[in-house]
């Protein structure tokens, strides 16, 4: 049966997954103010594992204090976070799941109101809120590269099945890749080989730090959707460089807060399959040239489309974010034979409570439950 393709067991490095569905990294806003794991974050992750997701990728964990982007974001810049992270891993494994830690540095997208530190990135530019962001020196680049490596080592000690290096959405490594941001004249600017240099150095340092038996993933833009930004052709060239560096899987996303058209989380209803899977045609180009297994995120809402994308070889894994905020048990629902479209309405309302410091949640689902409770009381 074609549908069995989505629910077949696969292996990435030494990590065996029960199906081809991935929970794409999603900022949950459920860490403590200083980035430590909380019971609420553990509970959410267990719900995802029990809900049938083959692989959970955590929200981005910042590798240095000056790399924080968001309120109550997960942190992995110090050994003191390992105990909480290990508790998270143990809970997911006990629920039958697999979990990978996404590691990141925000670069010029760092929130200075949270960090209280100077922002730095590939080139001088306005930061997340128009604040100054200085260009990194070669010493800065080496220091941040080692911070990624130390974070990967902590993730390995905490028991994670692997790490994903965040190279998308105009965070630091994405800034280096993109000619829109990268105006450097040294070995890290100019050609795509130079702009990809820091990413490749980070990937190699991460691999060395955590060993060859852990899965090493990269999340990368398919394109920036901004004039003069990272292009599809440059994505393909970078993917081939990452293949040569020995990464185990690449997740394709897209967009940037600097884009006039597309951010990574597009708001608005997805009415039919034709408007789903934003990057599927880019994914097909990737699969023609790159051997590294592909995870595709962005707008997938229908089981039938997910099935077709995998069957046709457009991607190896289906990554989901917002649908799993509303329905942590979506994958088990689909597995049971209920193949109705994901209930997510893609309004981005889920981020409102997170930005208020209350943590990520689906406000549509909450309203529906409250209405149901009122009707029950009335009746």
Q: What residues have CB less than 8 Å from 220, skipping those under 6 apart?
A: 167, 168, 174, 177, 235, 238, 239, 242, 250, 251, 252, 253
Confidence band for 375, pLDDT divided at 50, 70 and 90: low
Distance, in Å, from the CA atom of 256 to the CA atom of 47, rounded to the nearest integer, reads 30
| 372, two tokens | 């149901």
Q: Are 73 and 66 contacting, i.e. CB atoms less than 8 angstroms apart?
A: no
Predicted local distance difference test score (pLDDT) of residue 240: 98
CB contact at 8 A, 6 and 19: yes
Looking at 3.40.50.720, 3.30.460.10, 3.30.10.20, 3.20.20.70, the CATH number of the domain 2-378 comes to: 3.20.20.70
Provide φ and ψ at 220, rounded to 5°: -140, 150
Assign 68 to helix, strand or coil.
coil
Summarised one tens digit per residue, pLDDT across range 169-210 is: 999 999 999 999 999 999 999 999 999 999 999 999 999 999
- Hey, where are the domains in the chain? 2-378
Q: What pLDDT does residue 317 have?
A: 98
Is position 171 annotated as part of the catalytic site? Answer: yes
pLDDT above 90 for 167: yes
Q: CA geometry: angle at 129 spanning 199 and 230, to 5°? A: 35
Choose, from 171, 286, 303, 317, the residue flagged as catalytic. Answer: 171
Residue 2 scores a pLDDT above 50: no
- Residues sharing a CB contact under 8 Å with residue 269, sequence separation 6 or more, in sequence order: 345, 346, 347
Average pLDDT over residues 351-357: 81
| 264 pLDDT tier (thresholds 50, 70, 90) | low
What share of the chain has pLDDT > 70, as a percent?
Answer: 91
Average pLDDT over residues 96-100: 98
Pairing of strands 15-17, 10-12: antiparallel
- As given in the structure block, the two tokens for residue 202 are 């980070």
């Amino acid at each position: 049966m074609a549908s069995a393709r989505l629910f077949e067991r696969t292996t990435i490095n030494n990590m065996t997954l029960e199906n081809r569905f991935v929970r794409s990294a999603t900022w949950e806003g459920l860490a403590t103010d200083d980035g430590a794991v909380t019971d609420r974050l553990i509970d959410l992750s267990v719900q995802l594992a029990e809900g049938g997701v083959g692989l959970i990728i955590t929200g981005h964990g910042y590798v240095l204090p000056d790399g924080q982007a968001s309120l109550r974001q997960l942190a992995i810049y110090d050994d003191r976070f390992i105990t909480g992270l290990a508790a998270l891993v143990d809970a997911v494994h006990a629920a039958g799941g697999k979990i990978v830690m996404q590691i990141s540095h925000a670069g010029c997208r760092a929130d200075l109101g949270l960090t209280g530190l100077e922002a730095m990135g590939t080139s001088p530019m306005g930061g997340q809120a128009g604040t100054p962001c200085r260009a990194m020196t070669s010493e800065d680049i080496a220091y941040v590269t080692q911070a990624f490596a130390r974070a990967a080592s902590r993730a390995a000690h905490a028991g994670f099945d692997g790490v994903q290096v965040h190279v998308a959405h105009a965070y630091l490594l994405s800034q280096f890749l993109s000619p829109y941001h990268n105006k450097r004249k040294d070995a890290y600017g100019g050609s795509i080989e130079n702009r990809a240099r820091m990413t490749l150095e980070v990937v190699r340092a991460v691999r060395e730090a955590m060993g060859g038996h852990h899965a090493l993933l990269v999340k990368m833009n398919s394109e920036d959707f901004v004039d003069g930004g990272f292009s599809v052709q440059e994505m393909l060239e970078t993917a081939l460089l990452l293949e040569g560096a020995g990464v185990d899987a690449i997740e394709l996303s897209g967009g940037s807060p600097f884009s006039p058209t597309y951010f990574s989380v597009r708001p608005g209803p997805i009415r039919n399959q034709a408007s789903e899977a934003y990057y599927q045609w880019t994914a097909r180009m990737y699969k023609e040239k790159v051997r590294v297994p592909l995870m595709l995120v962005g707008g997938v809402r229908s089981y039938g489309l997910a099935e077709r994308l995998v069957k046709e070889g457009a991607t190896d894994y289906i990554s989901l974010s917002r649908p799993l905020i509303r329905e942590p048990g979506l994958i088990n629902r689909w597995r049971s034979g209920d193949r109705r479209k994901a209930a997510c309405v893609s309004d981005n309302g889920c981020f409102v409570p997170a930005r208020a410091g209350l943590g990520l949640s689906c406000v549509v689902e909450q309203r529906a439950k409250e209405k149901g409770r009122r009707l029950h009381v009335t009746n």
